[in-house]
Structure 1
Amino acid sequence: MQDKRTFLRIQILRFIAAAVVVAYHAQITTISYFGGDDPYRVLELGVYGVDLFFVISGFIIVFIGSSRETTASVFVKRRVERIVPMYWIMTAATFALTHIPGLARNEVSGPGHLLQSLLFMSWVNGPETYPVLNVGWTLEYEVLFYAVAAASMALTKRAWATAAFVMLALVLSGRGTSFFLQNPIMIEFVFGMTIGTFLYDRRLFPWMLLGCVLVLLTLPMSGAAWRVWAFGVPSAALVSLAIYADFRKPYAGFVLPELGNASYSIYLVHVIAISCVCKVASVVMPNLSTAIGVPVISLFAIAVGYLCYRLIERNLLRVLGRRRRKAALVTNPPVHAE
């Protein structure tokens, strides 16, 4: 098993994925406030940073499930600790901010929508329905993937094969539809898992790869399927190259991996940060150039996200980790020799 530090370039890719999503949202929000055309058209591709996130998630789940979180109960506890508290905090903050008079620009959410968002269930309202914190739609896919992985770990001996089969079967049953439970984008988690099995379960790897290829070739070329071909497959190649590079030569830098550690906070916080700074700037600098505003606002959002990571997320994880360890000691006290 490889030490977690081996995969620092995966952490860098996590930051890159978050940063391009931030830049994409900064551009469309800045234009909505200040007008004009897209100053940086390449940033329109930033929306596909999500595809890179999904591939990385698939790989990480096999990595941690094969080395540290080897039981379903531990897996679930740590996944909940990792994603739920920060998401709930940011969702509650977004809900509160949208109810401040004069601040929200769109229709505000009601208590029912808030509850669905907190439970990762806003997708039940149909396509094009987003949670209170709009980027949370990706977390709803993550939670679905975690649930499938956890159930597979608890019920079967070949957890990764079972989880991949379920995800691929759901996609295949949808025939290219964009409906949540059948969206081809879920194949990207299996891409990452396939990469993971190459390292941790080599006998399973060719079957995982064959399953991905067969499902991809079988799907009609819908818009959702095209996204997987155009951005999911290259994302899988990029993750594979990053892992290969880490095996060839360990990454020696600190800044980019540290920003990768903060990528979750950056991803969750950036929507609020961008909206707030644009609201203020529209009052104090109503003629702000979008060409200047987009990079400045993007950097501001990343900085705010990093501060939230240092001040909130890290401390939350530290406290929750201590509580889990204390609970484990109470349940399974150490045996001392007489």
Structure 2
Amino acid sequence: MVTPCPVSPGSPAAPAGRGDNDTNLRAPVKKSRRPRLRRKQPLQPLSPCPLPGYSGVCDLFEYPSSGSDGADSPAATRAVQQSVQLDLRTFRDYGQSCYAFRKARESHFHAREALARQPQVTAESRCRLLSWLIPVHRQFGLSFESLCLTVNTMDRFLATTPVAADCFQLLGVTSLLIACKQVEVHPPRVEQLLALCCGAFSRQQLCNLERIVLHKLRFSLGAPTISFFLEHFTHARVDAGQAPAAQALEAQALARTVAELSLADYAFRSYAPSLLAVCCLALADRMLQLPRPVDLRLGGHPEPELQDCLGKLRLLVAINGTSLAHMLPLQIFEKCSLSPSLK
């Protein structure tokens, strides 16, 4: 049985003679909207301090000029990275399971030929864009995982959809936004990312491209990255007693910097992230002259691929030795040999 709704005293159907309730009636009051808080000052540009040895991409893209919140400097980023402690207890409980799961899904997220369907985007333009995005991620104080996911998202989208040359920079900042939403506690704001592009794109264009990228990737974003494998191999060697924690963390920081350089080089797209991670770590051990370098067979990759990747990484380090001096903490760079023996 449906219960009839009670009739309010002020309605036309209410019976007469209820003047005693008239005092309780109130006229409807329109709620006032709260004023929206707006930024009173424009976004302040970051201090234009390009890294010495910078590859000179300012002729194509402007150097980052976004509103950072103070502590997002390369020095602060290095301090955070150095304060990372190894959580061996969690690694012993879940490390091998996480590694097996991500290793099995690695090929699903690996775009080996990202530029095969690109008539306008070339390996050179990709290198220039990433040479611009790497300082951007450092200026914002973002994690290395965010940078790896940015490159993975961008390359996988390039493998599925042709991109015009004048939209390539927008794809880069959109991929950075998608990656930061997955990893960072405080991702960059859309206004900050648009400021990096000097007003070349609108907020609506960025949001539309974000939807397109997510649709093309079918919201499959949890890619295994070089960052994950570097952390896993570092935990594994410390847990097995192959290296002290301090030495292992220094080697990981150096390997992360070498991996940053490899992300911008399209020649390294043919190597899986786990293979690149173990090769970067092995090269870092040899550059630091550690007595017990990491075993190259740790990731289960064929020996010819390992030696080929290691040789290219050694050449990459030799070419970018000046940049390494400004990307690494001083105490680590002073221990490095830029011409390590691979034997």
- TM-score > 0.5, shorter chain as reference: no
Higher RCO (CA 8 Å, separation ≥ 6 residues): 1
TM-score, L = length of structure 2 = 0.28
Would you tell me which structure has more helix in proportion to its own residues?
1
The structure with the largest alpha-carbon Rg is 2
